[in-house]
C-alpha cells in the first residue's frame, strides 16, 4: 500500500472518482482512493484501513491524498505513476503554466461566471456541504435561484437561505436535492421525462425521480418537478420552497394538475402546503411518504397511499388512465433454515422511508433513517430486518453520493451475500444519465445469488427501477439485465416492497 | 399590469433555467442542461481558505 | 458598524493612499547617507528577516561579496569568518525603508537611488531607496574585476548620476511608470521602455554632469545595458506607496517579499509584522544549460511591485514578456483578470491599453485571497541554488496561501475572533 500527498491541489469529487477508476484499471491494483485531506476525510480513510500508521507531514484540507492498495510493490508504483500522469494531463484551476497544454480558462468565481454569462438565472451548487450555504447565498444575492445538491447544510443555514430567497422572489431547491426537472430541463440525476401538464413538488431526489418516471410510464407528462429538500416542511423552515414552488406552478398555465410529495416534517406545515396547492385552482394529489391514511381532508386535495398511487392519481386527473401493471407471480425460493431477514439497501432516502413505513409490521426492525419506533443503526448488518439509506449524510462524508458512485452499495451487497441470515434483498435502482447501475452491481448481485446457494438456500432479490425508456440507459434494458441476474423487478417501488414482504420466509403469516 | 418577473418568466420559463445556468461544484452536473440546449458556465470552484472550514468561517465573518 | 464594513472602509482608504502616492527620484547617495541608523558593519538584504546561517545560494553569495566590497575583509574566508562570528549585522531592506531586487543586498557605501513622496499629503518628503548597480554585474561575484567595476561605479559614476538628477530637479518616477505601461513594460522584468524614457529625460543633465567622455559612456552603458535600470526606481516607488498605506483595520497587503528560505506578507492594518511561509521554487523558463534541479528558492523584494499593481498584475500589458516567462498572451490576460477578483481598486493612473485602458488591479485584500482561493501571482526571477551563476530564468509563481492564512488568523485573533 502506498499513499501520496499532493500539496495544495484541490480536485472536485467527480475528478477524484475518475482518477480512482483510472488507477483501479491497472493490473494488480485492488483499491484506490483519492480524497482531499480534510480531517473528516482522513477519518474515513482510517476507517477503511487505508491510512498509513503515521503521516510524515500531516495532510492539510487543501492537499490531495491518493492511496493505492495492490498485490505487490510494482503494481502500487504503477498505480501512483498512473495517478501522476492522469492529474498532470488535467491542470487544476490555479495552474499557471501547463507546459504546452492549453490552460483551462474557466471562471473561478461566481462574479466571473456572471460576467461571461450575464443572462444566467439559475445556479447548481454541489460543493462540499461545509461551503454550500455560502455559495448558495452568493448566488441568491446575485439574483439567481439555486439548486443545492450538497448535503451537510445545517438547518439554520437552510432557514436563512430560504428566508433570503423569499425576500428576493427566488427559490432554493434542496439542500440534498439530487434531481429536479425545471422548464423541461433535467437537472442532477433526473432523466428524460415526457413534458406534460403535471407539476410536482417533492421532498427530494429519488422520490422525485420515481414519481416523475412513473408518470411518464403511465402515459402522462411533467411540466416541472421541484425538489424542495427533505427538511423543507420542518417547522423551522416552514415549507418556504414548497410554498414558493407551488405559487410558481400556479402561475404556469401549462401546469394543470399538482402533486405534492412530502417526507417527514411538521404536519401543520404539510397541511398549509396542501391548502396552498389547492388554492391554485388545480386538482391536487398529495402524499406523505409512509402515511397510508389518517391525514385530514383538505378540499381539492386527494391523498395518495404511496408514491406509485400518487403517480396514478395525478395521471387520471390529467386525463390519462393506464391499466394496472402486469406482474408475474412471485416464486419463493427454498430458504435455508438460517435465513430469516429482509435487508434493504437504498440509494434514495425517500424510497427507503417508503419501504420502512410498509415494513412496520416486521420485528425486529432497524434502519439508519431516524424514525420513531424503529431501532436506529447505520451498520451494514443487523440481527433483524434492516433497511439502509446509503445516501444518508453519515455515509457520504468524503465520497460521492451512491446514486453516482455504486461502490458503497456494492460493499453492502457483498456483506449481505456473506450473511447467512438474510432471506430477501431489496434495493432501488435509478436509471439516470450519469448512473451505471447494472454493470457496477453485476458482480455483487452474482455473489449474492451464488454464495447463498452455496449455503444450501437462496437470497431472493427484489428491486424497483426508476427511470424511463427515453433515458440513455433505457429502463427496459436495465430491467432485463437485472432479471438476467435473477433479480425480481417490480413495476414500481411500493409493489417491490410488498413483493419483498410476501417473499419472506413464512410470507404474510410469518411476520 | 404585469410585473417584471412575470415577463421574465415568459422568456426564460417558469424557473428561469433556460436563460442559463452556473454550475459550482461537480462539473458533471453541466451535462444534462447542456444537452437540453441551456447555456451553462462551469466555475472552477475551490474551497475557501484552502478547505479549512474554521478559517473559512472566520474569513466569511470578515467579509 | 459591523467589522466587515469597517474593514471595507479601511481597505478603500488603504487603496486610495496606495494609488495617491507619487514618487520622484531625487538623488543617488551611499546607503548610509539615507539610512541614518545603519551600523558601521551592517548589511541589508531582501525578504523578511533571516539569519546569516540560514542564507543560501545567491543571497549568501551577495552578502559575502558585499563584505568584500566594503573592504571589511580581504578574502572570502575572512568574510565568512566575520559573518559566522556575527561581526556583521543583517537587516531586511524593508526594515530600513528600502527594497532591493534579487538577493537585494545593500551595504553602507553602496549607491542607492533615493525617491521621495510627492503625492500623499501627510507623507510629503518621505524617502525610500533601492540599490543601483551597474548593469550586468552579478551581485554575488567577488572576483577582482567585478569588485573593481563596482567600486568605480561607486566612486566615479554613481555620484555623477546623483548630481545630474539633483541638477535636473529630480525625475517624476510615477509619470514614467504610467507612460511605460502604455509601451509594453510591466516595470519588473520588462523595463526597457521605462529605462529608455528615464535615460532620455536625464540625457541633458547627464551631459552637463562634468564627466569626461569615458566616464559618461560608462555611465550611460551602466544605465542602459540590459534595460533593467528603471526596475530599481519602480520598486522604490512601490515601497513608498505601500509604506504609506498603513490603515487600521485594513486587510490590504502592503508587502510581499522572499529571502530564499521564507516568503512573507504584511497587511496595512497589522503594522510591521511579517506572516511567513516556506519560499517555493519557481517553475518557469530557464536558460540553456539549466534545469529545474538547479533552481534556488524564491528570492527578493520585487513582489512589492505586484502589491502596488505592477509586475504580473500588469502582465496583460506586457505580452512580449511571455517569451521569457514561458507563458502566453492568454495567460497574461487571465492573470490580470483574476487579480481583479482579489484587489480592492483599479489604479487611476496606471492603465493597460490591452484591457481598453482599465486600471491595473491594486490593493490585494487578504480576505478575498482566502475566500476565492485565487492566490496573488508574481513574476519571479529564478536564481541558481548556488551563488555565482546569476539569474538562470524567470517564471510566474503564486504567493503561498499560508502567508495569507497566517495574516488573517492574526488579524481575526486580535479582534477576538477564533
Cell of A389: 439509506
Phi, psi of C351 (to 5 degrees): -115, 155
Task: Confirm or reject contact between B59 and chain A (CB < 8 A).
Answer: no
- Give chain A's domain count: 3
Closest CA of chain C from A8, distance in Å: 9
- Would you state the pLDDT for residue B1? 46
Question: For position A436, what pLDDT does the model report?
Answer: 60
If phi > 0 it is left, if psi is from -120 to 50 it is alpha, else beta; for residue C125 that is left
Of the candidate ranges A42-46, A209-213, A345-349, C403-407, the one whose mean pLDDT is the lowest? A42-46
User: Which DSSP category does C28 fall into?
Assistant: E
Show me where the domains of chain B are located: 4-62
Is the distance from CB of A265 to CB of A234 less than 8 angstroms? yes
* Residues C103/C131, Cβ–Cβ less than 8 Å: no
% of chain A with per-residue pLDDT over 70:
96
C-alpha cell at C191: 523595463
Considering the entire predicted model, what is its pTM?
Answer: 0.87
Q: Do β-strands C391-398 and C285-286 pair in parallel, antiparallel, or remain unpaired?
A: antiparallel
The whole domain housing A58 covers 2-88
Interface test with B, best of A124, A152, A473 (most B CBs within 10 A): A124
pLDDT tens digits for A408-466?
A: 899 999 999 999 999 999 999 988 766 567 888 999 999 999 999 999 999 999 999 99
Rama region for C260: left / alpha / beta (φ>0; ψ in -120 to 50; rest):
left
C411 contacts on B by Cβ (under 8 Å): 62
Q: Compute the distance between CA of residue A259 and CA of residue A277 in angstroms, rounded to an integer.
A: 9
Q: Is the minimum CB–CB distance between B40 and chain C shorter than 8 Å?
A: no
Nearest chain B Cα distance for residue A128, angstroms: 8
Chains in contact with B, where contact requires at least 3 CB pairs less than 8 Å apart: A, C
CATH code assigned at A50: 3.30.1360
pLDDT tens string A93-122: 777 765 444 556 789 999 999 999 999 999
Q: What is the pLDDT of residue B11?
A: 66
Which of A97, A108, A134 is the best substitution to test chain C (most C C-beta atoms within 10 A)? A97
Polymer length of chain C: 418
Q: Are residues A410 and A474 in the same domain?
A: yes
A104 touching C, CB under 8 A? no
Task: State pLDDT tens for residues C172-227.
Answer: 999 999 999 999 999 999 999 999 999 999 999 988 877 888 888 888 888 888 78
B34 close to A (CB below 8 A): no
- A39 or B4: which leads in pLDDT: A39
A7-46 residues touching C, CB cutoff 8 A: 8, 10
In the predicted model, what is the mean pLDDT of residues A135-144?
A: 96
Minimal C-alpha gap between C7 and chain B (Å): 8
A509 touches chain C (CB under 8 A): no
Indicate whether A314 pLDDT > 90.
Answer: yes
- A103 in contact with B at a CB cutoff of 8 Å? no
Asked if residue A362 is part of any domain, the answer here is yes
Q: Is A65 inside a domain boundary?
A: yes
Cis peptide before A175 (omega within 30 of 0): yes
Check A126 against B25: CB less than 8 A apart.
Answer: yes
Q: Are residues A279 and A358 in the same domain?
A: no
Q: Where are the alpha helices (DSSP H) in C271-376?
A: 304-307, 322-325, 329-339, 366-372
Mapping DSSP onto H, E and C, the string for A361-409 reads CCCCEEECCCCCCCEECCCCCCCCEEEEECCCHHHHCCCCCCCCCCHHH
List the single residue in B12, B14, B22 with the smallest CB-CB distance to A123. B22
Partner residue opposite C408 with nearest CB, options B46, B47, B59: B59
Over residues C236-262, the mean pLDDT reads 96
Query: C-chain residues within 8 Å CB-CB of A11?
Result: none
Q: Which of A447, A486, A439, A436 is nearest to A463 (CA)?
A: A486
Does residue A432 fall inside a structural domain?
Answer: yes
For chain C, the structural domain boundaries read: 248-414
C408 touches B: beta carbon within 8 Å: yes
Which of A258-267, A339-348, A357-366, A426-435 comes out lowest in average pLDDT? A426-435
Of C325, C374, C396, the CB nearest to A108: C374
Q: What are the cell numbers at A240?
A: 418556504
Is residue A31 domain-shared with residue A69, that is, in the same domain? yes
Q: Structurally, what CATH architecture does the domain formed by C248-414 represent?
A: Alpha-Beta Complex (3.90)
Nearest residue of chain C to residue B50 (CA atoms): C373
pLDDT band at A354 (very low <50, low <70, confident <90, very high): very high
Residue A294 has pLDDT above 60, yes or no: yes
For residue C3, the chain B residue with the least C-alpha distance is B62
**Contact criterion met (CB < 8 Å) for C398 and A96:** yes
CA proximity to A302, closest of A289, A315, A314, A318: A314
* Cα of A409 to nearest chain B Cα, Å: 21
Mean pLDDT score, A364-393: 91
B17 CB within 8 Å of a chain C CB = no
- The answer to whether the CB of C62 falls within 8 A of the CB of C50 is no
Contact indicator for A434, A405 with CB cutoff of 8 Å? no
Distance from CA of B63 to the nearest CA of A (A): 12
- Best of B7, B9, B27, B32 to substitute, by most chain A Cβ atoms within 10 angstroms, is B32
Testing the interface with A: which of C277, C283, C365, C373 to mutate, by most A Cβ within 10 A?
C373
Is-contact A190 A432, C-beta < 8 A?
Answer: yes
Query: Is A131 within a domain?
Result: no
Q: Are strands A341-346 and A365-367 parallel, antiparallel or unpaired?
A: unpaired
B43 CB near a chain A CB, below 8 Å?
Answer: yes
Size of interface A-C (CB pairs under 8 A): 39
Q: Is the pLDDT of residue A509 over 50?
A: no
pLDDT at B8 over 70: no
Q: What percent of chain C shows pLDDT beyond 90?
A: 71
Q: Is C151 on the interface with A (CB under 8 A)?
A: no
Reported as a single tens digit per residue, the pLDDT across C343-387 is 999 999 999 999 999 999 999 999 999 999 999 999 998 888 888
Residue B26 and residue A190: Cβ atoms within 8 Å?
A: no
Alpha carbon distance C265, C258 (integer Å): 9
In chain A, residues 411-440 whose CB comes closer than 8 Å to chain B: 433-434
Q: List all residues 6 or more positions away from A85 whose beta carbon is below 8 Å from its beta carbon.
A: none
Chains that touch A (3 or more CB pairs under 8 A): B, C
Amino acid at each position: 500500500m502506498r499513499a501520496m500527498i499532493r500539496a495544495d491541489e484541490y480536485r472536485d469529487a467527480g475528478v477524484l472518482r475518475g482518477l480512482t477508476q483510472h488507477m483501479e484499471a491497472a493490473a494488480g491494483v485492488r483499491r484506490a482512493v483519492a480524497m482531499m485531506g480534510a480531517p473528516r476525510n482522513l477519518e474515513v480513510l482510517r476507517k477503511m484501513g487505508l491510512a498509513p500508521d503515521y503521516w510524515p507531514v500531516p495532510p492539510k484540507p487543501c492537499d490531495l491524498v491518493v492511496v493505492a492498495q495492490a498485490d505487490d510493490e510494482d503494481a502500487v508504483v504503477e498505480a501512483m505513476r498512473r495517478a501522476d500522469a492522469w492529474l498532470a494531463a488535467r491542470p487544476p484551476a490555479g495552474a499557471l503554466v501547463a507546459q504546452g497544454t492549453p490552460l483551462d480558462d474557466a471562471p473561478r468565481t461566481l462574479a466571473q461566471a456572471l460576467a461571461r454569462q450575464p443572462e444566467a438565472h439559475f445556479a447548481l451548487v454541489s460543493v462540499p456541504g461545509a461551503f454550500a450555504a455560502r455559495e448558495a447565498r452568493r448566488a441568491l444575492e446575485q439574483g439567481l435561484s439555486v439548486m443545492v445538491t450538497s448535503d451537510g447544510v445545517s438547518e439554520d443555514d437552510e432557514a436563512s437561505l430560504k428566508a433570503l430567497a423569499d425576500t428576493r422572489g427566488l427559490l432554493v431547491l434542496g439542500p440534498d436535492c439530487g434531481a429536479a426537472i425545471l422548464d423541461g430541463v433535467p437537472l442532477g440525476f433526473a432523466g428524460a421525462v415526457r413534458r406534460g401538464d403535471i407539476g410536482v413538488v417533492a421532498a427530494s431526489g429519488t422520490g422525485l425521480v420515481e414519481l416523475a418516471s412513473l408518470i411518464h410510464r403511465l402515459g402522462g407528462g411533467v411540466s416541472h418537478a421541484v425538489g424542495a429538500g427533505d427538511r423543507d416542511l420542518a417547522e423551522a423552515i416552514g415549507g418556504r420552497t414548497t410554498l414558493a414552488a407551488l405559487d410558481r406552478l400556479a402561475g404556469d398555465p401549462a401546469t394543470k394538475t399538482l402533486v405534492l410529495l412530502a417526507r417527514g416534517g411538521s404536519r401543520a406545515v404539510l397541511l398549509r402546503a396542501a391548502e396552498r396547492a389547492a388554492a391554485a385552482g388545480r386538482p391536487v394529489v398529495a402524499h406523505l411518504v409512509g402515511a397510508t391514511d389518517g391525514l385530514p381532508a383538505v378540499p381539492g386535495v386527494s391523498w395518495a397511499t404511496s408514491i406509485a398511487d400518487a403517480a396514478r392519481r395525478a395521471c387520471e386527473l390529467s386525463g390519462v388512465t393506464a391499466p394496472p401493471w402486469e406482474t408475474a407471480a412471485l416464486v419463493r425460493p427454498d430458504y435455508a433454515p438460517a435465513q430469516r431477514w429482509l435487508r434493504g439497501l437504498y440509494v434514495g432516502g425517500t424510497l427507503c422511508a417508503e419501504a420502512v413505513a410498509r415494513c412496520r409490521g416486521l420485528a425486529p426492525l432497524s434502519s439508519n433513517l431516524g424514525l420513531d419506533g424503529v431501532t436506529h443503526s447505520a451498520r451494514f448488518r443487523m440481527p433483524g430486518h434492516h433497511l439502509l439509506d446509503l445516501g444518508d449524510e453519515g455515509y457520504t462524508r468524503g465520497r460521492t453520493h451512491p446514486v453516482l458512485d455504486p461502490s458503497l452499495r456494492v460493499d453492502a451487497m457483498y456483506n449481505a451475500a456473506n450473511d447467512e441470515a438474510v432471506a430477501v434483498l431489496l434495493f432501488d435502482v435509478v436509471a439516470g444519465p450519469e448512473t451505471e447501475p447494472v454493470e457496477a452491481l453485476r458482480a455483487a448481485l452474482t455473489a449474492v445469488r451464488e454464495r447463498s446457494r452455496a449455503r444450501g438456500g437462496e437470497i431472493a432479490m427484489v428491486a424497483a427501477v426508476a427511470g424511463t425508456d427515453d433515458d440513455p440507459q433505457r429502463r427496459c434494458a436495465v430491467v432485463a439485465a437485472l432479471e438476467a441476474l435473477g433479480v425480481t423487478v417490480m413495476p414500481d417501488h411500493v409493489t417491490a416492497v410488498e413483493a419483498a414482504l410476501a417473499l419472506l420466509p413464512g410470507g404474510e403469516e410469518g411476520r | 399590469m404585469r410585473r417584471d418577473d412575470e415577463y421574465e418568466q415568459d422568456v426564460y420559463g417558469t424557473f428561469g433555467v433556460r436563460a442559463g445556468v452556473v454550475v459550482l461544484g461537480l462539473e458533471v452536473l453541466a451535462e444534462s442542461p447542456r444537452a437540453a440546449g441551456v447555456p451553462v458556465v462551469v466555475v472552477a470552484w475551490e474551497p475557501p481558505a484552502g478547505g479549512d472550514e474554521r478559517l473559512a468561517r472566520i474569513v466569511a465573518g470578515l467579509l | 458598524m459591523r467589522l466587515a464594513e469597517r474593514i471595507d472602509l479601511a481597505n478603500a482608504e488603504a487603496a486610495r493612499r496606495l494609488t495617491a502616492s507619487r514618487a520622484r527620484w531625487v538623488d543617488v547617495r551611499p546607503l548610509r547617507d539615507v539610512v541614518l541608523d545603519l551600523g558601521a558593519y551592517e548589511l541589508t538584504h531582501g525578504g523578511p528577516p533571516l539569519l546569516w546561517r540560514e542564507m543560501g545560494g545567491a543571497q549568501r553569495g551577495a552578502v559575502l561579496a558585499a563584505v568584500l566590497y566594503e573592504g571589511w575583509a580581504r578574502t572570502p574566508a575572512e568574510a565568512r569568518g566575520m559573518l559566522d562570528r556575527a561581526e556583521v549585522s543583517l537587516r531586511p531592506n524593508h526594515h530600513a525603508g528600502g527594497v532591493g531586487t534579487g538577493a537585494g543586498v545593500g551595504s553602507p557605501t553602496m549607491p542607492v537611488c533615493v525617491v521621495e513622496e510627492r503625492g500623499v499629503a501627510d507623507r510629503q518628503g518621505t524617502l525610500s531607496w533601492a540599490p543601483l548597480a551597474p548593469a550586468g554585474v552579478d551581485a554575488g561575484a567577488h572576483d577582482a574585476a567585478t569588485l573593481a567595476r563596482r567600486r568605480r561605479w561607486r566612486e566615479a559614476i554613481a555620484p555623477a548620476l546623483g548630481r545630474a538628477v539633483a541638477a535636473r530637479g529630480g525625475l517624476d518616477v510615477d509619470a514614467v511608470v504610467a507612460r511605460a505601461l502604455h509601451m509594453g513594460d510591466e516595470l519588473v522584468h520588462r523595463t526597457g521602455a521605462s529605462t529608455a524614457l528615464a535615460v532620455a529625460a536625464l540625457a541633458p543633465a547627464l551631459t552637463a554632469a562634468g564627466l569626461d567622455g569615458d566616464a559618461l559612456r560608462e555611465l550611460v552603458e551602466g544605465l542602459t545595458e540590459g534595460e533593467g535600470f528603471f526596475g530599481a526606481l519602480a520598486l522604490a516607488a512601490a515601497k513608498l506607496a505601500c509604506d504609506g498605506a498603513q490603515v487600521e483595520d485594513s486587510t490590504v497587503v502592503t508587502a510581499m517579499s522572499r529571502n530564499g528560505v521564507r516568503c512573507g506578507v504584511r497587511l496595512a492594518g497589522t503594522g510591521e509584522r511579517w506572516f511567513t511561509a516556506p519560499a517555493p521554487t519557481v517553475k518557469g523558463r530557464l536558460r540553456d544549460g539549466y534545469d529545474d534541479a538547479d533552481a534556488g528558492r524564491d528570492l527578493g523584494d520585487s513582489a512589492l511591485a505586484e502589491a502596488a499593481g505592477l509586475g504580473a498584475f500588469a502582465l496583460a500589458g506586457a505580452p512580449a514578456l511571455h517569451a521569457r516567462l514561458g507563458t502566453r498572451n492568454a495567460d497574461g490576460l487571465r492573470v490580470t483578470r483574476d487579480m481583479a477578483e482579489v484587489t480592492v481598486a483599479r489604479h487611476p493612473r496606471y492603465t493597460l491599453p490591452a484591457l481598453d485602458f482599465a486600471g491595473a488591479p491594486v490593493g490585494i485584500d487578504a480576505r478575498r485571497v482566502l475566500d476565492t482561493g485565487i492566490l496573488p501571482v508574481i513574476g519571479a526571477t529564478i536564481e541558481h541554488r548556488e551563488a555565482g551563476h546569476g539569474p538562470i530564468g524567470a517564471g510566474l509563481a503564486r504567493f503561498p496561501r499560508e502567508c495569507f492564512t497566517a495574516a488573517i488568523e492574526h488579524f481575526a485573533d486580535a479582534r477576538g475572533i477564533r
